[in-house]
Amino acid sequence: MAALLGLGLMLGPELELEREGEGVGVGHGHGLHGEHKVDLDAIDLSNLSPEERWRVEHARMHAKHRGHEAMHAEMVLILIITLVLAQILLVQWKQRHPKSYNLVTLFQMWVVPLYFTAKLHWWRFLIIWTLFSAVTAIITFRATRKPLDRSTPRLVYKWFLLLYKLSYGTGILGYAAVMFTLFGLNFLFRIKPEEAMDFGVSLLFYGLYYGVLGRDFAEMCADFMASTVGVSPRLSYWGSGGVVGASKVLHTAMW
């Protein structure tokens, strides 16, 4: 009993001194007044009151995590440096080797979501992704053949133009659904906010994802066909910048 009373007397004042910055308390795992050390692991919690037991466990937690603040600061600094260096490397890669950069990023954007959607069983995305990949793979295969079939440029242009219109319309519809939900217009149709927001975000994601993916595939096919039919590289994607160059190549190849 005397030991418990002594422990209570030591723990109580030390917490107050820690708050006031006048001493070093047990609540943070340090010694009492810098002289009297308390072995927190040797304290028998079964003989303590609930309040004293909480104080000891709190002190043990602080002692266990002592020094983690410095480690977290180092981790944040390493993360910032890594992000900056990675951005510099990506920019240099894109400027010096645009073909390999676009092919690698296109492949990653096309394949990486497949792993997460299969793991999370998002069957709707998997079905749409499979249909898109099957049709685009056939179109891309025909666009890379030599000699180039006369009907291939027209087929490539029609498919990616259709994909562009669908993704653009889907994105606009998703954006409108999100804005209507933010302004509370979903209540006019008796739709729950979470359902309306999920619907809008899903459409916005599908529009952006397949729009960007379709654009990159169109530019790649245009570049292959341009090299096949002998169109100047300055009209292709890698030299002129995007959909305009791809459209020029496709129109030139068709006619």
Does position 121 have pLDDT exceeding 80, yes or no? yes
92 and 108 both lie in a single domain: no
What is the distance between the alpha carbons of residues 149 and 143, in angstroms, rounded to a whole number?
Answer: 8
For residues 144-158, b (16+ Cβ closer than 10 Å) or e, as one string? eeeebeeebbeebbe
Q: Is residue 17 part of a domain?
A: no
What is the distance between the alpha carbons of residues 143 and 137, in angstroms, rounded to a whole number?
Answer: 10
What's residue 74's pLDDT? 86
Rounded to two decimals, what is the model's pTM? 0.61
What is the distance between the alpha carbons of residues 102 and 82, in angstroms, rounded to a whole number?
Answer: 22
173 and 130 both lie in a single domain: yes
The CA dihedral of 234, 235, 237, 241, to the nearest 10 degrees, is 80
Query: In the listed set 31, 66, 96, which residue is the last one of a domain according to the structure?
Result: 96
Location of structure tokens 């180092």: 74
For residue 114, the Cα-to-chain-centroid distance in whole angstroms is 14
| DSSP tag of 36 | B
Taking a C-beta distance cutoff of 8 angstroms, is the pair 7, 42 a contact?
A: no
What's residue 40's pLDDT? 56
Number of domains the chain is built from: 2
Does position 42 have pLDDT exceeding 70, yes or no? no
Mean pLDDT to the nearest integer, 214-223: 91
pLDDT in tens, 122-168: 999 999 999 999 999 999 999 998 888 889 999 999 999 999 999 99
Tokens standing for 238?
Answer: 């890698």
Does position 181 have pLDDT exceeding 90, yes or no? yes
If pLDDT is split at 50, 70 and 90, which confidence band does 208 have? very high
Write phi, then psi, for 39 (nearest 5 degrees).
-80, 100
Domain hosting 77: range is: 50-96
135 and 73 both lie in a single domain: no
What's residue 43's pLDDT? 65
110 and 167 both lie in a single domain: yes
How open is the CA angle 182-183-188, to the nearest 5 degrees?
A: 110
Q: Give the CA radius of gyration of the chain.
A: 32
Query: In the listed set 62, 96, 130, which residue is the last one of a domain according to the structure?
Result: 96
What average pLDDT is seen over the chain? 77
Amino acid at 205: F
Tokens standing for 79?
Answer: 């993360």
What's residue 45's pLDDT? 61
Mean pLDDT to the nearest integer, 67-90: 87
Q: Is residue 107 part of a domain?
A: yes
Cβ atoms within 10 Å of 171's Cβ, excluding its own: 19
